[in-house]
Chain A
Amino acid sequence: MDNAPILNVAALRAKVADEDLEILKGVDLTIKPGEIHAIMGPNGSGKSTLAKVIAGHPAYEPTGGSVYFGGEDLLDMEPDERAQAGVFMAFQYPVEIPGVSIANFLRTALRARLEEDEELDLFDFQELLMDRMELLEMDPSFAQRPVNDGFSGGEKKRNEILQMAVLKPSLAVMDETDSGLDIDALKIVANGVNTLKRESPGKSVLLITHYQRILNHISPDVVHVMVDGRIVESGGPEVALELEARGYEEYRKAHAA
């Protein structure tokens, strides 16, 4: 049972909700507890769409196949139910929520995970938040700022990592968290993920990325290549290096043929 997958995506198809535009054309992906998977692919290959369909973004509509998380049918669940079950997506473009502090937001998110008759102990929460911020080498004043409001790109991504560290999901999907980051910010994000992995080796990570460079800082167990809505190759870290050397063109041609 230990080896039962945490995520099982089978023949998944999905389209843009308001249009007749199919983006995922039969995706198969199995992630076991403790594994780090990376999905690489060119722009428009559908890798971000896969992340969003797993999280339940309303802009996309699954049209076939299945996504199981543990034993649960994710596609049947609302986004908040998926989060409560243990799925977390770090956004490529985190949203600004003016007037709501990070601390208030996280407190509300943790409260949402409690049973109706349970109360969140505010001292415990404060302790957890401070502990997580220390772990990620963040200034405590950060938690008092309104969520992503006026944040730099790097601050937004750090905020995503902080939320992940507080909510402790069993599966973290990083949707191009590395894009648009300078090398320092990239290292901070990578350190965050690595620190959490060290702390809880059983947690699984799905890294969606366009670039190979983040894989210099986070070591994946499995690397997948996605082209035109399908996973066309899977293997060890060597796949990423090969890709770096040869580019996506070859895969694209091979796939088109």
Chain B
Amino acid sequence: MSQAAAVHKRTAPVIGRAAVVETATTDPPWLRARRDEAWSIYQATPMPSTRSEEWRYTDLARKLRLDELVVADGDRGPGAGAGTVLPDALRQTMDQDRDGAGRIVEVDGKVVSVELDESLARQGVELASLRDAARQGDGDIQRLLATEAVPASDGKFPALNAALWSDGVFLRIPRGVHVERPIRLSRWVSRPGNATFTRILIVAETSSRLSFVEEILSPDFDRTTLVNSAVEVFARGGAQVQYVSLQRLGHGGFYLANQRTLAERDSTLDTLNVALGGSVGRVDLNARLLGPGANSDMLGLYFGDTEQHFDFNTSQDHVSPSAHSDLLYKGALDGSARGVFRGIIRVHEGAQGTDAYQTNRNLILSDDAIATSLPNLEIEADDVRCSHGATVGQLDAEALFYLMSRGLTRGKAERLVVLGFLGEVLARLPMGGVVEKVTNAIVAKLRNV
């Protein structure tokens, strides 16, 4: 018994240098070096505080005690986790997914299964555990992992993730290959008090096509449980990529994601972030438009109730001239939930002919819910079309009466208005299965109201 306890203790360290060393045990030297460097950056970087503009409304010092967390022992060597019995809740949501071209399942920070259509594999599509792929010495991974998109130097949590990531997804679509059905990542986190660090690296080569849908679930937790992820998406010239993230953690879940998309010439790189679960969710999304004709639609949807806290920090970097980006984030807030949106459009010097838009709309359903919206522009070119707008509104009494006068109860009327309000976001990216799943999740939350 004491031996088992000792083993458990050794494989479940707190956040610290020892955890980095242990996580890196089976890594190739370049990756070990990269983790070490990331850890140094982490140590040298102060914890974000509410004194900084970007973290003003999410008080990490109060909401997150890193020293109380245990690092998820996701890595148990190559091939570990195969044959893992999946929990019912994860099974159920996977069963609701429509037909896909591939699926990767991740449990407590470790990939447990990878499936990919044989025909796609034959065309050179690679879908793999990021850890396994990194160990096998893939050149793209060494070149692109935590370097160009979400490097450790980006901040405290990007650094922590680069030092401690246990696994994740590597997906590469070769030049000209069209993946018509979505590739899915289904994630499950089960251990209360754990901190899980994973990454996603997607490379869509020239003129390829891809839809990627990530969904994360967990049970309710009796204490803070951290899920940290770094998402790096590269769309090479003319590629068309959609990245969708559904966050459906249970109570106690603390979700921190750093996402960066890099869109090259004539590529389309669209994202959708849906936040429904967890106690705290913070997403930092940076879209970089790197070539003329690049286009990013950035969509977001959040619905908070009880004391949920959602914070989105977005930026649209127009580095290249003649690129287009359009952001729409909509949220509904009930109970004493809090929603924060802070977005900035940066038009860099020389980025003439930029088209960039940013809209954030909030619907407040109770007296105690709060929405904060901070849209921003930073323009260093003169020939641009940019606009931003933000609204915070309440349920319209006249609209409710209108619906009730047709026989709907107050509850049903409210539900319809909220679904219509949020549904506008889903209608912009009508991906098979996602719309139904998100709609059902919203309806389930509205029933609790």
Contact = CB atoms under 8 A, between A and B. Distances in A.
Interface of A: 55-58, 78-80, 82-84, 88-89, 91, 94-100, 104-105, 108-109, 112-113, 146, 163, 167
Q: Ordered nearest first, which 8 A-B pairs have the shortest CB separation?
A: A99-B420, A100-B420, A83-B407, A79-B404, A95-B402, A109-B406, A99-B423, A80-B404
Contact of A79 (B396, B399, B401, B424): B401
Given A95-B398, A95-B399, 16 more contacts: A56-B401, A56-B404, A78-B404, A79-B404, A80-B404, A95-B396, A97-B416, A97-B420, A99-B419, A99-B424, A100-B416, A109-B408, A112-B409, A113-B407, A146-B420, A163-B406
A97 B417 contact: yes
B119 to A, nearest CB: 36
Most B Cβ at <10 Å: residue of A78, A84, A89, A95: A95
A57 B404 CA distance: 10
Most A Cβ at <10 Å: residue of B408, B410, B413, B419: B408
Contacts of B178: none
B4 interface: no
Contacts of B398: 95
B399 to A, nearest CB: 5
B135 to A, nearest CB: 47
A83 B412 CA distance: 14
A169 to B, nearest CB: 10
B397 interface: yes
Given A97-B417, A100-B420, A80 B410 contact: yes
Contacts of B448: none
Contacts of B84: none
A84 B412 CA distance: 14
Contacts of A91: 402, 405
B427 interface: yes
A82 B401 CA distance: 12
Most A Cβ at <10 Å: residue of B396, B412, B416, B420: B420
A116 to B, nearest CB: 12
Most A Cβ at <10 Å: residue of B398, B406, B422: B406
Contacts of A80: 404-405, 407-410, 413
Contacts of B419: 99-100
Contacts of B397: 58
B422 to A, nearest CB: 8
Contacts of A97: 399, 402-403, 416-417, 420
A64 B153 CA distance: 72
Nearest to A146: B420
Contacts of B403: 97, 105, 109
Contacts of B423: 99-100
5 contacts: A55-B405, A82-B405, A99-B420, A99-B422, A109-B408
Contacts of B413: 80
A94 B416 contact: no
Most B Cβ at <10 Å: residue of A56, A83, A97, A163: A97
Contacts of A99: 419-424, 427
Contacts of A88: 405-406
Interface string B370-404: 00000000000000000000000000111101111
Contact of B406 (A56, A58, A167): A167
A226 to B, nearest CB: 22
Nearest to B423: A99
B407 to A, nearest CB: 4
Contacts of A79: 401, 404-405
A57 B424 CA distance: 28
Contacts of B405: 55-56, 79-80, 82-83, 88-89, 91
A91 B417 CA distance: 18
A57 B398 CA distance: 9
